[in-house]
Amino acid sequence: TMSSVNKSAHAFDKVRLDSLLNRRFFYAPAFEIYGGVAGLYDYGPAGSSLQANIIAEWRKHFIIEEHMLELDTTIMTPAPVFETSGHVARFADWMVKDTKTGDVLRADHLVKGVLEARLRGDKEARGEIQGPVVEDPKKRKKKGAVEAQKAVKLEDSAVKEYEYILAKLDDYTGPELGDLLTKHTITNPDTSNPVSAPIPFNLMFASSIGPTGQHPGFLRPETAQGHFTNFARLLDFNNGKIPFASAQVGRAFRNEISPRAGLLRVREFTMAEIEHFVDPDDKSHPRFPEIKDVELSLLDKHTQSSGQTTIRTMTLGDAVSQGVIANETLAYFLARISAFLLKIGIHSDKLRFRQHMANEMAHYATDCWDAEIFNHQAGGWTECVGCADRAAYDLSVHAKKTGAPLIVREALREPIVEEKLGAEWKKKELGKAFRGDAAEITKAVDALNEQALVTVQEALEKGSYEVTLASGNKVQLTKEYLSIEKKTIKTSIREYTPNVIEPSFGLGRIMYALLEHSFWAREADIERGVLSLPPLVAPTKVLIVPLSAKEEFVPLVKEVSQKLRRAGIFSNVDDSNTSIGKRYARNDELGTPFGVTLDFASVKNGTMTLRERDTTDQLIGPIDDVIAVVADLVQGNLEWPEACGKLKKYDGVQDA
Amino acid sequence: TMSSVNKSAHAFDKVRLDSLLNRRFFYAPAFEIYGGVAGLYDYGPAGSSLQANIIAEWRKHFIIEEHMLELDTTIMTPAPVFETSGHVARFADWMVKDTKTGDVLRADHLVKGVLEARLRGDKEARGEIQGPVVEDPKKRKKKGAVEAQKAVKLEDSAVKEYEYILAKLDDYTGPELGDLLTKHTITNPDTSNPVSAPIPFNLMFASSIGPTGQHPGFLRPETAQGHFTNFARLLDFNNGKIPFASAQVGRAFRNEISPRAGLLRVREFTMAEIEHFVDPDDKSHPRFPEIKDVELSLLDKHTQSSGQTTIRTMTLGDAVSQGVIANETLAYFLARISAFLLKIGIHSDKLRFRQHMANEMAHYATDCWDAEIFNHQAGGWTECVGCADRAAYDLSVHAKKTGAPLIVREALREPIVEEKLGAEWKKKELGKAFRGDAAEITKAVDALNEQALVTVQEALEKGSYEVTLASGNKVQLTKEYLSIEKKTIKTSIREYTPNVIEPSFGLGRIMYALLEHSFWAREADIERGVLSLPPLVAPTKVLIVPLSAKEEFVPLVKEVSQKLRRAGIFSNVDDSNTSIGKRYARNDELGTPFGVTLDFASVKNGTMTLRERDTTDQLIGPIDDVIAVVADLVQGNLEWPEACGKLKKYDGVQDA
């Protein structure tokens, strides 16, 4: 029988988690020996490996399972691309400056921090919560834009107003944020100085390409434009058919105004993006029936706009049929996103999907939902995946700017036959009379729509129709040169710009949230932190622990390593000169789910013990049997309780 | 029996290869619809997948096999890091400007292009080669820095001099390149205008970090500094022991002056780097015996400095013992690099290792070898992997700049006991007399070396020793405060800065060379290009070809897909409405090594055929038998000739 484990014996302790992540080099501030740079982090061996496993699963779950077309496009991007996409004009956050020190703060974060502090102060004054422990003021300052919490009771109406503002915070424009700062006399909490009106700050890192400095460029703030500019090639690769999706995992950069939230808000990050190209007239999804009964926690835009944050749990079938989610394809991706996050270990009760409100969403978008994950770093919910229906915006603007035909041409099953007005030209006469201008004249008239052609027809009946050439010269056309007649037009091709549904993943945020959700401490000893990472993503799957580094264990360690490798399982050996218990404790911190111990019994009897991280239960059996069980466990074909039925329980003392 | 294949029936045709790579979207100019940007390329589905497979094999071959510590560090780097490393001052190429048009050219490429053209012109004049086909002059201009080849005979001495210059081209400094330009009257071949003297152009892309613009930053031109700045953490992760290696795969950026050689010289690229930290006093390698008999093609520095390019084939054992390669660890990595390149499909006769010459190598480096691969794009050999012994340079400069202890502390097996002079302080008297200055005084004297202490001793004997404080005040020390005495010093810890051996891979260059080496055309039809990529790296391993897209084949296609996936094999289905032969030909272009055909016999008898790409041979058997053979083939446990003994030969007509 399996031991029961109490993972919530100790309250979540962020200080201990941060210490573990730093000490075991999951990640650390980049260029730390140079004092570091805000918003830049390096991943060490444990973090790199965890990230690589998350990416590998992402590739399987999305690219392979859904036959997406993978891309790897450049980060450095010439300015015209982002001028067209709108990023140069609009990819900005609102910042304010401390009017005395010149310190820069992000306007919405300032409003949020101050109002939340006031609400906490109010609760304290009302005796609803305990006041905060008085902190070292130096430390306080470092923590930044949070007004010192004072136990001051607020008017009931103020409480209500603050809660309303916080619920729809993402929906305010820059000037509106400025109004809030003034109305609620919000100052820089670090200095109590007033702040300037919000001004936009473009978040793209700028550089220039080539030795002459003539070609301005930006580091991409998302991978999406690399998909859109390659659309025609991708469509061709897919034999001209849609729907299809492209996918890309890569670095992106945002020059955040004041990054202070660990991995949640960084200046350089790895993201994974999908652009699913779909017929604008048909956003159904063939696999929707498979997910229609999946229930998600939804926070829709109407709820938020009314100042509420109540979550509704509903099936995706209901959400689409009731118009909460715009279409089947969007809903299908929300289900897939949820399945992916749960599979890698995100806790289901800390996952919700929040819909963008009207101002928050780009004007062209039809609908947008964020997968938000609860975490203590943010003290709330953080957007980790965005999923937007961007309509035809991106392809349209690039096509318009470059003239590239970013469209789908589809053979119609039945050609459409229409009666339409059209010009019948007398080419010979036209050529004689107008020579080189003839082509321009025909082009101008042929481009006219039905209604305009009626006007031409009437003008010709009355005498002549005047065309103005590019040169400014005016030309009089008469019936001598053309007539306007009803024509039968047969269309057998439909041309259209596809719509784009874009799921976009911030991998660093997801990884950090996963680390929080995985962290706990042993009931008997708060110092013994454990990361309960699922085997699927754990950096190391199996720790091999020989009793000692002595010669006699070397061949056995080699044998077990090789057998695990052949079974496709990544293992590590810890033969350091310390107790087996300590070695296991050290690897609990790294999230290693299984351990096998090689001791004198192994040498003598060919057995080894198998230890599970969370329960610390141990089983024992012949080496090959244990490896077979481990392989099933790691590949997800077996859960630990079942494994306990397959091997004998071991009551040794290694894991003291 | 297996069919024989003549892969060299047609001469290598770069135009056809380029067309294939572009048409099938292995890669294409980035932002092509915006006119593109020199030196930036996007990888499409085929290229992304090929690259991903090369990286996966690299990880296995190096990181997993050698237990390296993986890192993922930031691209954006604050300027002080590159000031310390020397990149701000020295990471530059020499450029010249066309004195009339202002066009910018890279000085060494200009010299190379012009001298090579003159040598070809000389050969033509001597009747040794045919003249070039006259090209469209517009096209010529695009191709850039190559002087139009004219059939002009040169003096024998000039031929010799040009050949000498070309052999040691990488060894010239900027001013020396300037001298060559003048001496040989080299002008811009596009315009025939004179060019300016060479000036250095720093290749790093600059940007600035944060909203105030105060923090200049650069995009890393290599990943190495991210390893060095994290050295202390890595050493700690490795329990304080060396040797160990860190490894990283990631993007790097170089603002090339005039990139014109496809994937060989780009402004943004993916690289894979290893930093192997080793004891400077012991660069032996435990696995050297495993590779000492491996033979490599070597072009050493002495050969090149004497103006020759003769390659010597020697074993690594001989190369190290004869001092051709500096040490075992360097030689071990050369062997591993060679094994990796051959495994992914680089042709062994197109691989050589070239040693850097004195000027070419950084002054601190001990030895440096490039793995060079022959290719037609370069019309010669291209550096694809560098492997340098960088000594203690990097860690030393960062430690000096930041004060961080980037050192190894190693317990000595036997403590070293030495007799040394040292100061014996009379602390009480010193404190009374000098108060707050006492600490500064003791520190100053304690820091003196043996020889200086002798001087102090003599001065004290004569009366007093003068110490100058930071304040400028002078202090007279007498025997009242200290004496200099022989002391027994026991050292049980050895402290040292490790040396670094750095293998650094340019993955895009390797991928391009591999594509060239893999490309050929069917003997019977030059239009039928094939990419003979090894199964290990081929984007798709198996193509599933149902006779048609009809309903009746759907369950079978699904079954075969699932069985292949379960066997860990990535497959693709081509059910397009075209002949089976055409579908295979299309996938020969993508390098897909195997194909299985599902037809009426499959539905009826449960058999399928298996087709091999290079021979186009086909075998037939029960579906499960074929899948078992395919799995062995893809995993490299079986070669095609052996597979032919395991399944029946099929003489059908699908592959007409």
Return d(Cα A216, Cα A206) in angstroms, integer: 7
Interface predicted TM-score (ipTM)? 0.86
**Closest chain B C-alpha to A645 CA, distance in angstroms:** 26
pLDDT at A135: 45
Q: Is the pLDDT of residue A436 over 90?
A: no
- Tally A–B CB contacts below 8 A: 200
Q: Which of A43, A406, A570 sits opposite B71 (nearest CB)?
A: A43
Q: Do B72 and A80 touch (CB under 8 A)?
A: no
pLDDT at A80: 96
pLDDT at A261: 80
**Closest chain A C-alpha to B33 CA, distance in angstroms:** 6
Return d(Cα B236, Cα B405) in angstroms, integer: 12
* The residue to which tokens 């020759």 are assigned: B308
**What is the DSSP secondary structure assignment for residue A137, as one 8-state letter?**
H
Determine which of B34, B59, B83 to mutate to test the interface with A (most A C-beta atoms within 10 Å): B34
Q: Which of B72, B81, B211 sits opposite A43 (nearest CB)?
A: B72
Q: Which of A44, A76, A212 sits opposite B268 (nearest CB)?
A: A76
List CB contacts (< 8 A) between B251 and chain A.
75, 250-251
Average pLDDT, chain A: 92
pLDDT averaged over consecutive 10-residue blocks of chain B (656 residues)?
83 96 97 94 97 95 92 97 93 92 91 92 87 49 52 90 89 92 94 93 94 90 97 94 96 92 94 98 96 97 89 97 96 98 97 91 87 95 96 96 95 88 91 90 90 91 90 90 90 94 98 98 94 96 91 91 88 90 94 95 92 95 95 92 94 55
**Closest chain A C-alpha to B210 CA, distance in angstroms:** 6
Return d(Cα A327, Cα A319) in angstroms, integer: 9
From the list B573, B497, B609, the residue with the least C-alpha distance to B228 is B497
* pLDDT confidence band for A149 (50 / 70 / 90): low
Nearest residue on chain A to B257, alpha-carbon basis: A211
Return d(Cα B31, Cα B112) in angstroms, integer: 30
Q: Identify the structural domains of chain B with CATH numbers, from first to last.
A: 14-74+220-395+500-508 (3.30.930.10), 92-202 (3.30.40.230), 413-494 (3.30.720), 540-649 (3.40.50.800)
Mean of pLDDT values over A571-581: 90
The encoded tokens of residue A422 equal: 């059209």
Are the C-beta atoms of B403 and B371 separated by less than 8 Å?
no
Nearest residue on chain A to B225, alpha-carbon basis: A31
Q: Is the pLDDT of residue A133 over 60?
A: no
- The answer for residues whose C-beta is within 8 angstroms of residue A474's C-beta and 6 or more apart is A466, A467, A468
Q: Do B209 and A95 touch (CB under 8 A)?
A: no
pLDDT at A168: 83
Q: Do B42 and A226 touch (CB under 8 A)?
A: yes
Q: Do B209 and A234 touch (CB under 8 A)?
A: no
What's the pLDDT tens digit per position in A367-400? 999 999 999 999 999 999 999 999 999 999 999 9
Q: Is the pLDDT of residue A63 over 80?
A: yes
Q: Do A237 and B404 touch (CB under 8 A)?
A: no
pLDDT at A137: 44
Nearest residue on chain B to A248, alpha-carbon basis: B48
A75 backbone dihedrals φ, ψ, rounded to 5°: -80, -45
The encoded tokens of residue A584 equal: 């296991």
Strands laid side by side in the B268-278 sheet: B69-70, B244-253, B268-278, B499-506, B380-389, B367-375, B351-355, B295-299, B312-315
pLDDT at B570: 87
What's the pLDDT tens digit per position in A298-345? 999 999 988 888 999 999 999 999 999 999 999 999 999 999 999 999
Q: Give whole-number Cα distances, B169 to B81, B308, B504, in Å.
A: 30, 12, 22
What's the pLDDT tens digit per position in A89-129? 889 899 999 999 988 999 999 999 999 999 999 998 898 88
The encoded tokens of residue A338 equal: 């949820």
**Closest chain A C-alpha to B375 CA, distance in angstroms:** 24
List CB contacts (< 8 A) between A232 and chain B.
33
List CB contacts (< 8 A) between B207 and chain A.
205-207, 219
Are the C-beta atoms of B122 and B150 separated by less than 8 Å?
no
The residue type at B51:
Q
First to last CA, chain B: 19
Nearest residue on chain B to A74, alpha-carbon basis: B42
